[in-house]
Amino acid sequence: MTKSLTIKQPDDWHLHLRDGDMLAAVLPDTAQHFGRAIIMPNLVPPVVSTADVLAYQKRIMAALPKGMNFTPLMTAYLTEATDAEDLAKGFQDGVITAVKLYPAGATTNSASGVRDVMAVQPVLEKMAEIGMPLLVHGEVTDSDIDIFDREAVFIDRVLDPLRQRLPQLKIVMEHITTSVAADYVQSGSENLGATITTHHLMINRNHILAGGIRPHYYCLPVAKREEHRLALRALATSGFSRVFLGTDSAPHPDRAKLMACGCAGIYTAPNTMSCLAHVFEEDGALDHLEAFTSINGPKFYGLPISDQTITLTKQDLPMAYPEMITAGDETVTVFDPGVDLFWRVDTLV
């Protein structure tokens, strides 16, 4: 039985750090394990220009505790008023790594997002020309579409036609949640990738709704049926080269999660690596954990694989993670996977 596993230092290809007190509180939980992370731009106001990106990057680095090494990979928020040339210059200067497409109203702070993809076609054409990745929150927001069907409808109505119009555009389907999306990315070309979150590998919609509403399991895209969770696990643990970890770790103050209209997001940064080791061991795939967390993402983005390593050690007693962290005057609940976790991140070399 494997008790120790050394892998290349992982990266997180989808992360929310927020700003201010929240940024300062959550950044160390990611930086202690992850060398890099794709930083989401859905602040208020959103991070839309190269100047915005530079300012946010500066705030992140100012919040990084002394002695920690971490590289934020910055993104810009796509709007129907986005300046294509500004984004292109930011990308070519190494300031912006990718552009994020939020359908308007799809998730937290997405009101400024895109209502009609054809309205941003010139920007997407420029991105395809220069090799700039597009990261998509893959859901439609039409009121007549069931929330559990939004991802599949997005693929059919928006993503597939977009890929047919611009086959050279590099696209990441972020935080996929269905077998439909899992099948779609596997059937795609080399410029189509996907991220899977920690929590979507561990929970299904029963965790949110069965026996009472549990708001700390509510996220967007919402967790689906068990058959979809199993499809995601099969893909993540398979070693398939175009799927990689994007935690979508999304801290919210508990008071905002517990309101009558609570917000979507699960904070998984502190225990993600323990959760993933548990999942991959359970599925007999520890030999594929490194690919999912540390190799596939850099290869897809054309970035170097880390020359550092971490060691995961399986201990006899369960890990003790805090139930919550503090951020200024607020508390943030840490993801509860519902199972004991025995794998700890032991060393970083």
* Three-state SS annotation for 258-286: CCCCCCCCEECHHHHHHHHHHHHHHCCCH
**Among 44, 157, 51, 41, residue whose Cα is nearest residue 99:** 41
Contacts of 83 (CB under 8 A, 6+ apart): 49
Question: Which residue type is seen at 51?
Answer: A
Identify how many contiguous H helices and E strands the chain contains and give both numbers: 13, 13
- The per-residue pLDDT for 110 is 72
| Token pair for 152 | 């599949």
Q: Cα separation of 91 and 80, whole Å?
A: 19
Element (H, E) at 20: helix 20-31
Rounded CA Rg of the chain = 19
What's the number of CA atoms in the CB half-sphere (13 Å) around residue 249? 33
- The per-residue pLDDT for 130 is 98
- The per-residue pLDDT for 300 is 98
User: What is the Cα 266 distance to its own chain's centre?
Assistant: 11
Q: What angle do CA 163, 164, 170 make, to 5 degrees?
A: 30
Element (H, E) at 118: none
What's the number of CA atoms in the CB half-sphere (13 Å) around residue 12? 31
Judged on CB neighbours under 10 Å (0-12, 13-18, 19+), 313 is: middle
Q: Which residues are catalytic?
A: 248
- The per-residue pLDDT for 349 is 62
Q: How far is CA 86 from CA 49, 95, 149, 195, 231, in A?
A: 7, 11, 35, 27, 39
Per DSSP, 159 falls in state I
Judged on CB neighbours under 10 Å (0-12, 13-18, 19+), 304 is: exposed
pTM for this one?
0.97
- The per-residue pLDDT for 346 is 87
Contacts of 16 (CB under 8 A, 6+ apart): 39, 40, 42, 248, 249, 250, 251, 265
Kindly list the structural domains of the chain, giving each domain's residue range(s) and its CATH number in brackets, ordered by start: 10-307 (3.20.20.140)
Helix axes 272-282, 226-236, angle to 10 degrees: 90
Q: What are the residue ranges in the chain where pLDDT is below 50?
A: none
